[in-house]
Amino acid sequence: MIPGKFEYFAPSSVKEAIGLLDRYGEDAKILAGGQSLIPAMRFRLAQPEILVDINRIEGLDYIRELDDYLAIGAMTREASLEKSALISQRYPLLADTAKVIADPLVRNMATVGGNLAHADPANDHPATMLAYDATLVAEGPDGDTIIGIDDFFLGLFETSLAKDQILKEIRLPKPGPGSGGAYLKIERKVGDYAVVGVAIQLTVENGTVTAARIGLTNVAGAPMRAKNAEAALIGNAPTGDILEKAGQAAAAECEPWSDLRGSEEYKRDMVRIVTKRAIRKAVERVGA
Amino acid sequence: MGRTVKLTVNGQEVSREVEPRLLLVHFIREDLNLTGTHIGCDTTSCGACTINMDGKAVKSCTIFAVQADGRSIETIEGMAQNGLHPLQEGFWEKHGLQCGYCTPGMIMCANAFLKENPQPTEEEIRWAISGNLCRCTGYVKIVEAIQYAANKIQAQAAQPSETKEVVA
Ligand SMILES: Cc1cc2nc3c(=O)[nH]c(=O)nc-3n(C[C@H](O)[C@H](O)[C@H](O)COP(=O)(O)OP(=O)(O)OC[C@H]3O[C@@H](n4cnc5c(N)ncnc54)[C@H](O)[C@@H]3O)c2cc1C
């Protein structure tokens, strides 16, 4: 299928790109990895009149650990995350996630910024970034804005980014002592979107969970945190009973629907089970 | 509203005027008449259209031709140089195909992969081709074909032949 007609721009700087977005407003769309946008254009679900291709802008593709946080450029491809030794050693939740996004061919193009900006609850990074308590940096005509991940996802395909803002960087807190994380996803086949996915990042001190954030994939109209499940964990030792409580809380607070990937009931039960398994894996990693 | 794109295709410079909405796979098949790159689905799912762009295996149905401006792409037609490429030979020797529809995509995917990982395990090969669908073989023979090619490329590298150029 052939996309509708559009005019194409390939700016070489963020400023130039923002100028174009500013000028064309609602008619323009950013093209990053294109792995969500181009399929949507082929089905004519998206018919932008202007495409602003940001692939020619230098300096948006990097993974750097700074004093306070890990900085990831928005145009960093999934394949780079997957192959990064730093990420596999120190950010296991992110490493788990990058490996199960789509397939290796898609991951050579798909970007982490595009994955978040698309705000598809079926995408895997939103849950992961919610669990990490990530901070996003976006640039617009008035300069940079810092956005906490809890304020970023507004609904299905909807974020707090303005039409003329470009997501530039994702910042993850550096893992402190006693921290661990994991992402687990049930998929029908390799490369498919999640039936359910659970991201967890937690801290265990002297046997007690002192901090925990849990994100859920594809079980609500927008990316969501499982706050009741977090509350069930925090302040307790991660025993079998507590894990069951957290799993049940997550199953109750998510809002899945029945579709080709399973009935609502099935998905809720999978959320319960996968939440327990993800917590167990994250706790195991605390020691490692 | 044409735009001129200049790119290297299988080592040769080409320049064409294209409409921005032209997908790279259509550019390759229809403008360049290189019909070895196949179209198997409309949903970025099957990998039949896999090519190498700047050395990376990508789905050419989900890239616009204008995005390839200034880049270097390789298609199945560029593989055979002095005789079949070891991957092509592997698919022949190990019977890595039945209908053959997925084969060009499989080979281009494996080509980029073996450059990154010249001595892969079976599991790594299966992982690498997980974005390329084959509905005939059950993949066993494809994996063997890629193993065959990996071994052959290793052996060629270890054994300098007369045709091999010496790079100072
Ligand atoms: C077969 C297939 C399977 C897939 N499976 C999965 C999966 O299992 N899990 C998963 O998470 N994803 C999956 N994806 C989606 C894939 O990861 C997408 O690439 C991703 O959702 C979007 O990233 P992109 O860089 O391709 O963005 P694009 O498609 O280029 O853009 C997506 C949207 O984000 C906007 N945008 C992009 N970058 C920016 C930016 N820097 N600032 C502001 N706005 C921006 C665009 O304007 C557009 O609206 C799959 C895709 C395919 C084709």
Same domain, A73 and A40: no
User: Strand pairing partners for A29?
Assistant: A51
Band of pLDDT at residue A190, cut at 50, 70 and 90: confident
Percent of chain A with pLDDT over 70: 100
pLDDT for residue B91: 98
Band of pLDDT at residue B155, cut at 50, 70 and 90: very high
- Rounded to 5 degrees, what are φ and ψ at A230? -60, -45
- Please give the mean pLDDT across all residues of chain B: 94
Same domain, A91 and A122: yes
Same domain, A41 and A69: no
CB atoms within 10 A of CB A276: 23
Contact of A194 with A187, CB cutoff 8 Å: yes
Q: Residue A277 falls within a domain, yes or no?
A: yes
Q: Which of A173, A194, A216 is the last residue of a domain?
A: A173
Residues of A (164-193) whose Cβ lies below 8 Å from B = 190-191
pLDDT for residue A1: 81
Number of domains in chain A: 3
Helical H runs in B2-139?
Answer: 24-26, 86-93, 103-116, 122-128
The CATH number of the domain where A241 resides is what? 3.30.390.50
Shortest CA gap B44–chain A (Å): 7
Q: Which of A157, A173, A189 is the last residue of a domain?
A: A173
Is A288's pLDDT higher than 90?
no
Interchain contact, B62 vs A5, CB within 8 Å = no
- What's the pLDDT tens digit per position in A246-272? 999 999 999 999 999 999 999 999 999
Contact of A78 with A99, CB cutoff 8 Å: no
Token look-up 């990530």 returns: A134
Same domain, A131 and A198: no
Ligand 1, atom 20, lies closest to the CA of: A115
The CATH number of the domain where A75 resides is what? 3.30.465.10
From the list A5, A39, A55, which residue is nearest B21 (CB)? A5
Same domain, A160 and A188: no
Domain housing A15: 7-53
Of A143-147, B49-53, B153-157, the one with minimum mean pLDDT is B153-157
pLDDT for residue B168: 47
Ligand 1, atom 21, lies closest to the CA of: A115
pTM, full prediction: 0.96
Sheet strand arrangement including A143-148: A63-65, A69-73, A166-173, A135-140, A143-148
Q: Residue A1 falls within a domain, yes or no?
A: no
Q: Residue A101 falls within a domain, yes or no?
A: yes
Helical H runs in chain A?
Answer: 14-24, 37-42, 78-83, 85-90, 92-99, 104-107, 112-117, 125-132, 227-233, 240-253, 264-287
Of A16-30, A73-87, A203-217, B152-166, the one with minimum mean pLDDT is B152-166
Shortest CA gap B50–chain A (Å): 8
Is B167's pLDDT higher than 60?
no
Band of pLDDT at residue A287, cut at 50, 70 and 90: confident
Mean pLDDT across the stretch A98-123? 98
Distance CA A93, CA A200 (A): 7
Distance CA A229, CA A232 (A): 5
Distance CA B80, CA B92 (A): 13
Band of pLDDT at residue B10, cut at 50, 70 and 90: very high
- What's the pLDDT tens digit per position in A11-69? 999 999 999 999 999 999 999 999 999 999 999 999 999 999 999 999 999 999 999 99
- What's the pLDDT tens digit per position in A71-97? 999 999 999 999 999 999 999 999 999
Same domain, A189 and A141: no
Residues of A in contact with B50 (CB under 8 A): 105
Ligand 1, residues A21, A37, A78: which to mutate, most atoms within 8 A of Cβ?
A: A37
Q: Residue A108 falls within a domain, yes or no?
A: yes
Same domain, A189 and A203: yes
- What's the pLDDT tens digit per position in B58-108? 999 999 999 999 999 999 999 999 899 999 999 999 999 999 999 999 999
Distance CA B32, CA B47 (A): 20
Radius of gyration from C-alpha coordinates of chain B: 16
Write out the two tokens for A200: 């967890």
Distance CA A74, CA A117 (A): 10
Q: Residue A2 falls within a domain, yes or no?
A: no
A95 CA → ligand 1 middle, Å: 18
Domains of chain B and CATH, by start: 3-78 (3.10.20.30), 86-157 (1.10.150.120)
Q: Residue A88 falls within a domain, yes or no?
A: yes
Q: Residue A143 falls within a domain, yes or no?
A: yes
Q: Which of A129, A156, A173 is the last residue of a domain?
A: A173
Mean pLDDT across the stretch A105-131? 98
| Whole-number Cα distances in Å, A127 to A56, A63, A119, A250 | 29, 20, 10, 13
Same domain, A193 and A100: no
Write out the two tokens for B44: 């970025």
Nearest residue in chain B measured CA to CA from A50: B20
Q: What is residue B32's three-state secondary structure? A: coil
Same domain, A188 and A266: yes
Distance CA B146, CA B129 (A): 10
Ligand 1, residues A8, A36, A42, A49: which to mutate, most atoms within 8 A of Cβ?
A: A36
Radius of gyration from C-alpha coordinates of chain A: 19
Same domain, A67 and A84: yes
Strands B3-9 and B72-74: parallel
First vs last Cα of chain B: how many Å apart? 47
Same domain, A76 and A166: yes
Same domain, A160 and A238: no
Token look-up 């193009």 returns: A109
Buried b (16+ CB within 10 A) or exposed e, B37-52: bbbbeeebbbbbbbbb
Ligand 1, atom 33, lies closest to the CA of: A118
Contact of A110 with A101, CB cutoff 8 Å: yes
Contact of A227 with A215, CB cutoff 8 Å: no
Strands A7-9 and B56-59: unpaired
